[in-house]
Amino acid sequence: MAAHQEKKLAEERKHQNMQNDTKVSQGQWGRAWEVDWFSLASIIFLLMFAPLIVYYFIMSCDQYQCSLTDPLLDLLTGNKHLSDIWNRTPTLTYRAAGIYSLWVAFQVVLYVSIPDFCHKFLPGYVGGVQEGAVTPAGVVNKYEINGLQAWIITHVLWFANASCFHFFSPTIIFDNWIPLLWCANILGYTVSTFAMIKGYFFPTNAKDCKFTGNFFYDYMMGIEFNPRIGKWFDFKLFFNGRPGIVAWTLINLSFAAKQQELYGKVTNSMILVNVLQGIYVLDFFWNEAWYLKTIDICHDHFGWYLGWGDCVWLPYLYTLQGLYLVYHPVQLCTAHAAGVLMLGLLGYFIFRMTNHQKDLFRRTNGNCRIWGKKPEYIECSYVSVDGTKYYSKLMTSGFWGWARHFNYTGDLMGSLAYCLACGFEHILPYFYIVYMTILLTHRCIRDEHRCCSKYGKDWKRYTAAVPYRLLPGIF
Ligand code: NDP
C-alpha cells in the first residue's frame, strides 16, 4: 500500500533528522513530522473540550440569555445539575436532519456539477479552473473555482423564498439551531474519521501524506494533504468554503429575521454585523482563487482541525454576535454605530490591500507596482521532497514592509468591530476577538516556523529586513 510505504519513509526521514539536527530540513516543509509534548497536550485538550465549548456557548444563549457566568454559578451553587441543563437541551430531530442533509447535498451539487460562469461576465473576477501552489511532493493541483456562483445562487434562492415562495420561514436556521448543531457534529466527525481512514488506505497522493505515528495528532492535524474524491471533489476547498462560509451569511440573515419576528424591527447593531460579516464572506468568495495560496490550502493537512472545525466551530462560533443580538436587541447610538462601521471598514481595507499586494506580487513575479513603486524583495529558494529546487520571492515593501503579517492585523480590527457592535453588557460576543487573536498569533508563529524550515537562511534575511510580526514597533 502506497500510504504504508510513505509511513516507512517518514520513519526513515525522522531517523535521518535526528542524526543531523543541525541540518536545515528543507524539502520537509509543511506540517510537522514529529510531535512535541506541548502540541500533543493542546491537541488532546482541543479534541476533548472544543465540542464542549461550542455547546456551552450555544446553550448559554438558549437557556441563560447569553450569560456565560450564570450556568457556572447555577452548577457551582447546586442550584442546577448538569442533567437539568442537558435535559432542557433540544435533541436531534428528523426535521433538522432533513434540513441539514438537503443543505449539504445542495452545496455538493453546486460545487461539483455547475462549472463556473461568473468569470465569464464579472470583470476582474478569477474563477473556473485554477491551479494551487506546489505541494511538498511537487504536485500542482487543479481546482474548479465556483464558490461565488454557489454563494449567489444560494442567496438568490433564499431571498426568493423569503419574499415570494414562502416554502419555509427565514427564521428556520435560528428555530432549529441546536438540533442542527448535532447534525453538524455528525458530519464533522464523519468527515474527519473518513479522511483519516482514507489517508491510510486510499490516499489521493501518497507522497503528500504525513504520519507522525501519534494517533491523536494525525487525527487532529490530518494525514492527507489534499484528499479528493474523483478529480474535482476537493475536501479542503469544499468544507472550508461551503457549507461553512456560504452558511455564515444565511445564518446571520436568519438571526435578523428572528429579531424582526420577535421585536417587529431589526436593530442597527444586527444590520452592522450582517453588513460587515457579509463583506468578509463575499470577499472570500470573490478571492477564492487567491485562497488556494493561503495556509489552509498550501500547508495544512485535512484532519479534524479543518473537517470538524469547518462544519461546527466556524458556523456556530463565528456567528455568535448575530445570535446574541436575537436575545439582546441592542440599538446603538449614531456615534457608536459610526465608530464600529469605520473600524470594520478600515480593518477590511487593510486586510484586503495587504492580501492583494502579496497576491499581485506573487502573480506577476514582482513585476508590478506597490504604492506607485517597484516592490522590494528578498530572493529565496527551497527544495521539494523529490529534490527539485524552486525559487521564490519575499516582498519587503508596501504593507509587507510594515509587518510580516499585517493582513492579520486588519483581520483583527474587523473582528473587534463585530464584537463592539454588540455593546458592552455581556462578554459572550467578545469571544470572537479573543479567539481570533489566539488563532492568528498562533498561525503567525506556525507559519514562520514552516517558512524558516522552507527557506532556511533566506528567511532569516527576511525577518532581519522586516522585524515585526503584527504591529510595527511593538510585536
Ligand atoms: P498569508 O496570506 O499571510 O500567507 C502566508 C504565506 O505567504 C507564507 O506561508 C508564505 O508562503 C507567503 N509569504 C509570507 N511572507 C511573504 C512576503 N513577504 N511576500 C510574499 N509572500 C509571503 O496567511 P494565511 O494564509 O494564514 O491568511 C490569509 C488570510 O486569511 C489572512 O488575511 C488572514 O487574516 C485570513 N484568515 C482568516 C481566518 C478566519 O478564520 N477568519 C483564518 C485564517 C486566515 P510561501 O510558502 O508561498 O512563501
pLDDT digits (tens, 9 = 90+) for 14-44: 444 333 333 333 344 455 566 778 888 888 9
**Angle formed at CA 190 by CA 189 and CA 191, multiple of 5 degrees:** 95
Helix 406-420 vs helix 334-363: crossing angle, to nearest 10 = 160
Say if ligand 1 is within 6 A of residue 248 CB: no
Ligand 1 site-directed mutation target among 286, 314, 348, 447, most atoms within 8 Å of CB = 447
Ligand 1 site-directed mutation target among 28, 358, 392, 454, most atoms within 8 Å of CB = 358
**Contact (Cβ atoms closer than 8 angstroms) between residue 192 and residue 303:** yes
In 3D space, the residue among 366, 354, 429 whose CA is nearest the CA of residue 395 turns out to be: 366
**Angle formed at CA 393 by CA 401 and CA 395, multiple of 5 degrees:** 10
pLDDT score for 12? 44
* Closest-lying ligand 1 atom to the alpha carbon of residue 29: 46
Q: Nine-digit cell at 44? A: 488532546
DSSP H helices, 168-242, are 172-175, 177-201, 215-221, 235-239
Task: Please report which helix (H) or strand (E) contains residue 128, including its range.
Answer: strand 128-134
Q: State the residue for C-alpha cell 491537541.
A: 43
* Closest-lying ligand 1 atom to the alpha carbon of residue 408: 34
DSSP assignments along 50-96, one per residue: HHHHHHHHHHHHHHHTT-SHHHHHHHHTTSS-HHHHHHTS----HHH
Helix 2-19 vs helix 177-201: crossing angle, to nearest 10 = 80
Contacts of residue 356, defined as CB under 8 A and 6 or more positions apart, other chains included, come to none
Contacts of residue 298, defined as CB under 8 A and 6 or more positions apart, other chains included, come to 132, 133, 292
**Angle formed at CA 164 by CA 162 and CA 167, multiple of 5 degrees:** 65
**Contact (Cβ atoms closer than 8 angstroms) between residue 209 and residue 199:** yes
Ligand 1 site-directed mutation target among 28, 288, 294, 415, most atoms within 8 Å of CB = 294
Phi, psi of 403, deg, nearest 5: -155, 160
Helix (H, G, I), strand (E, B) or coil at 421: coil
Q: Which amino acid is at 171?
A: T
Say if ligand 1 is within 6 A of residue 351 CB: yes
* Closest-lying ligand 1 atom to the alpha carbon of residue 354: 32
pLDDT score for 24? 37
Radius of gyration of the chain, Cα coordinates, nearest whole angstrom? 23
C-alpha 350/C-alpha 414 separation (Å) is: 9
C-alpha 298/C-alpha 279 separation (Å) is: 24
Helix (H, G, I), strand (E, B) or coil at 327: helix
Q: Nine-digit cell at 58? A: 450555544
C-alpha 95/C-alpha 190 separation (Å) is: 20
Look up residue 132 and give its DSSP letter: E
Residues of the chain with pLDDT under 50: 1-29
- Residue 374: alpha-carbon gap to chain centroid: 32
pLDDT score for 383? 80
Helix (H, G, I), strand (E, B) or coil at 48: helix
The pLDDT tens digits for 141-173 are 899 999 999 999 999 999 999 999 999 999 999
**Contact (Cβ atoms closer than 8 angstroms) between residue 203 and residue 223:** yes
C-alpha 255/C-alpha 316 separation (Å) is: 12
Q: State the residue for C-alpha cell 465608530.
A: 339
Contacts of residue 412, defined as CB under 8 A and 6 or more positions apart, other chains included, come to 347, 433, 436, 437, 440, 470
All structural domains of the chain with their residue ranges: 39-331, 332-474
pLDDT score for 165? 94
pTM of the model: 0.88
Burial grade of 19 (CB within 10 A; 0-12, 13-18, 19 or more): exposed
Please state the length of the chain: 475
Say if ligand 1 is within 6 A of residue 295 CB: yes
Helix 268-286 vs helix 246-263: crossing angle, to nearest 10 = 170
C-alpha 18/C-alpha 420 separation (Å) is: 49
C-alpha 281/C-alpha 388 separation (Å) is: 37
Across 384-440, the runs of DSSP E, i.e. the strands, are 389-395
pLDDT score for 34? 66
Helix (H, G, I), strand (E, B) or coil at 344: helix
Say if ligand 1 is within 6 A of residue 358 CB: yes
- How many CB atoms neighbour CB 314 within 10 A? 20
- Residue 148: alpha-carbon gap to chain centroid: 17
Q: What is the 3-state secondary structure (H, E, C) of 229-240?
A: ECCCEEHHHHHH
- How many CB atoms neighbour CB 133 within 10 A? 14
**Contact (Cβ atoms closer than 8 angstroms) between residue 415 and residue 340:** no
